[in-house]
Structure 1
Amino acid sequence: MPGGSAGRTGIALTDRQRLAWLRLIRSDNVGPTTFRGLINHFGSAEAALDALPELSRRGGATRSVRIASRADAERELESAARHGAVFIGIGEPDYPPALRQIDGAPPLIAVKGNLSTLTKPSVGIVGSRNASISGAKFAAMIARDAGRAGYVITSGLARGIDTAAHRASVDTGTIAVLAGGLDRPYPPENLGLLDDITDGSGLSVSEMPFGWEPRARDFPRRNRLIAGISLGVVVVEAAERSGSLITARMAADFGRLVFAVPGSPLDPRCHGTNNLLKEGAIITTGSDDVLSALAPLSQLDLFSPPIIEEPVKDSDMMPPDDDARGNIINALGPTPVEVDDIIRHTELPASNVYLILLELDLAGRLHRHSGGMVSLDY
């Protein structure tokens, strides 16, 4: 039975903190990285909310930043309660330990179902919506065997391979990651399956607001969560351009294992998986290929420092001057650069650099890239 020592680490948010966290992450131009930076600098979400208008003004915003109101956040919390869901913060014990490790992990996730599923080691299974019979049967076999071995199965509730993986692991535990709000599941034909998941040993997860209808550009965000929650991702069937390949590449970027099932070169649904094998994915012809590779990872301590609200000194709150701001803006351009390079180039204190980047971000002038790189939006 796989297990890890970090499944229940963390500190619970108070109701007041949870409300402030929800307001902050729902405010304009506040993504996961900016959220963490604001908490680190100001010590709490409430203090960060108070500072948003001035920060965006200093960053050069041409209009006032929209801050999620207390009433809006309270309504979303009420919607969650009506649907039997809760919000879990990144520093809380029930937050998925593997997800907490990735860059830009969502500060808050909405979940519905059996919370104990979140802290168990997970394997992702993804693939073609237009799955073959053999592909669906293979995905179900992997899901059943991994479930019996103690793993939770994570997938995206899509047609085809996702559906087969979820159905085969309803009894042992499965996580359905949604691209829209928890109250806007997609596709509609899987509503019954989703009820089976959340009423049994599994749960549904989303970082999007309640009422959010999923759009095409929201599915890569969902795929990122699948990759982040999982210790490894199995791709059963995937065309050359598919969301499953996005999930696989994100998993590789996170240092997770990527498994690919070989298929006929004549079947377009296998072109993507065959290419993954050429790129170094683990060839997968049976469940043992997955379980033997995952076994060492499932014993790792997945602890990483959570976001914790702590008071900050008044001396740390002093804003940088216009010369420092100008130096950083001049150093930036459309080409992504590392923050450490900005610090070395400008010779400014790291705290000043990070704060000015927050200002530019909140003003909508900064673009954040994978690997912690940034560029200036013109």
Structure 2
Amino acid sequence: MSRPEAADGVKLSDGQRLDWLRLIRSENIGPRTFRALVNHYGGARAALEALPMLARRGGAQAPGRICSIEDARREIEIAERMGSTFIALGEPGYPARLRMIDDAPPLVSVRGHIDALKSPMIAMVGSRNASAAGAKFAAQIARELGDAGFVTVSGLARGIDAAAHRATIDTGTVACLAGGQDRIYPSEHLPLLEQILEHGVAISEMPFGWEPRARDFPRRNRLIAGLSLGVIVIEAARRSGSLITARLALEQGREVFAVPGSPLDPRCEGTNGLLKQGATLVTETNDVLSVLDPILGRTVALPASEPGHDPADPAAEPAADERRRIVSLLGPTPVEIDELIRQSGAHPAVVRTVLLELEIAGRLERQAGGRVALI
């Protein structure tokens, strides 16, 4: 069996990095699908070659767009001109906690003081329309956590995010971007980002030139939570992106902290709700440190290979009746893959192959908890 690409501490070759970038930039390929393909075929190049066949078997009339060598090279050249580096999952420098989440991005582009990613990180998120008191408290907590050795993580948004970033420019802060490294949102925070890069980092999984859309922000929020030991929420309305970040943090096994606010202020309705659900109450920095210090005191054993990767599946060619049986068990209601294997009676490798075919054809959606559903 060949050695997995980007095994723990091993750098990709230039050719492998180009293949990884092409695969993750191809249509219908997300982080989970990327892993499944690389596990199944033993590498990104073999997976790229298999995409047209998988799409055809999955029922697509034509294969989805496959990122060309030229497009991938062009993006790498743009990254180099901007001083940005692509780090692959499993390579030295890839953030340790981010690599542990189920849908960790195979490649991230990072810019700035990359060593900041080695420090323990704590996320701070909250209202874009923050009150003066909320922004002041966010800055105070962020500054004190920075003095205690933590790097703050946030989304470069207005309000609480910006307050946390500004307070920790000197101690280090990480800005998670919803768009490409060259498409900063909001654009008014470009000067702030330039300050952040002196001691901190900008990180993105999106292509260069990508303008952030509404659906890209929850995707960015999972990076904010994934990078961090925990998430502190300050002033979040009942329906807000900050609550999405808190939910993702819980799903990823992170700590969730919330700052109480006035029950008369709609901006605090979400944070007060988090407290009712068991989030750790924060009125001073020690409330955060008392939870995080014991976590940092424990030794966390990192896996020797890419997190979340099973050993490479043996090549499995589904028979026509097996494929029909597996597809017939799928529908719009999400089902766990283990249940699909049990009900179909097919070998797990065969089921995974059929799921890959459907996904490459744009007919399958993977959801949290290892569940899948037909689109």
Which of 198, 210, 213 is the aligned partner of 2:211?
Answer: 213
How do residues 165-244 of structure 1 correspond to structure 2 at under 5 angstroms?
165-198=164-197, 200-244=198-242
Matched, 1:43 2:36: no
Deviation of residue 304 (structure 1)? 3.4
Matched, 1:348 2:346: yes
Relative to the length of structure 1, the TM-score reads: 0.94
Deviation of residue 149 (structure 1)? 1.1
Structure 1 distance, partners of 2:71, 2:55, is 21
Structure 1 distance, partners of 2:8, 2:147, is 25
Deviation of residue 301 (structure 1)? 1.5
**What residue identity is the alignment partner of 1:43?**
G
Task: Indicate how the Cα distance of structure 1 residues 305 and 107 shifts in structure 2: closer, same or farther if over 3 A, else same.
Answer: farther
* Cα deviation code 1:282-334 (max 9, x no counterpart): 010000001110112224425135449x9x99x93342111111110011111
Task: Show the counterpart of 1:3.
Answer: none
Matched, 1:334 2:332: yes
SS at match of 1:137: helix
**Unaligned ranges ≥5, structure 1:** 1-7
**What residue identity is the alignment partner of 2:160?**
I
Which of 246, 249, 256 is the aligned partner of 2:247?
Answer: 249
* Cα deviation code 1:152-203 (max 9, x no counterpart): 10000001100010011111110000100010011111111100111x1101
Contact 1:98 1:302 in 2 (8 A): no
Structure 2 distance, partners of 1:24, 1:177, is 22
Contact 2:51 2:63 in 1 (8 A): no
Residues paired across the two proteins, number: 366
Task: Show the counterpart of 2:318.
Answer: 320
Task: Show the counterpart of 1:76.
Answer: 75
Structure 2 distance, partners of 1:18, 1:261, is 42
SS at match of 2:185: coil
Task: Indicate how the Cα distance of structure 1 residues 118 and 23 shifts in structure 2: closer, same or farther if over 3 A, else same.
Answer: same
How do residues 82-121 of structure 1 correspond to structure 2 at under 5 angstroms?
82-121=81-120
SS at match of 1:233: strand
Deviation of residue 212 (structure 1)? 0.4
Task: Show the counterpart of 1:4.
Answer: none
Contact 1:357 1:366 in 2 (8 A): yes
**What residue identity is the alignment partner of 1:229?**
L
Matched, 1:127 2:122: no
Structure 2 distance, partners of 1:304, 1:178, is 27
Structure 2 distance, partners of 1:10, 1:38, is 21
Relative to the length of structure 2, the TM-score reads: 0.95
Structure 2 distance, partners of 1:149, 1:104, is 30
Deviation of residue 353 (structure 1)? 0.7
Deviation of residue 65 (structure 1)? 2.0
Matched, 1:267 2:284: no
* Cα deviation code 1:23-50 (max 9, x no counterpart): 0000010110010001101001011001
Please report the RMSD computed on the Cα atoms of aligned residues, expressed in angstroms.
1.7
**What residue identity is the alignment partner of 1:235?**
V
| Structure 1 residue ranges (4+ consecutive) displaced by more than 6 angstroms after TM superposition | none
Deviation of residue 88 (structure 1)? 0.6
**What residue identity is the alignment partner of 1:191?**
L
SS at match of 1:153: strand
Structure 2 distance, partners of 1:306, 1:132, is 45
Structure 2 distance, partners of 1:59, 1:341, is 20
Deviation of residue 141 (structure 1)? 1.1
Structure 2 distance, partners of 1:302, 1:223, is 25
SS at match of 1:48: helix
**Unaligned ranges ≥5, structure 2:** 1-6
Task: Show the counterpart of 1:280.
Answer: 278
* Cα deviation code 1:79-118 (max 9, x no counterpart): 1001110111011111111111111111011110111111
Task: Show the counterpart of 2:3.
Answer: none
Matched, 1:32 2:27: no
**What residue identity is the alignment partner of 1:271?**
E
Structure 1 distance, partners of 2:305, 2:211, is 30
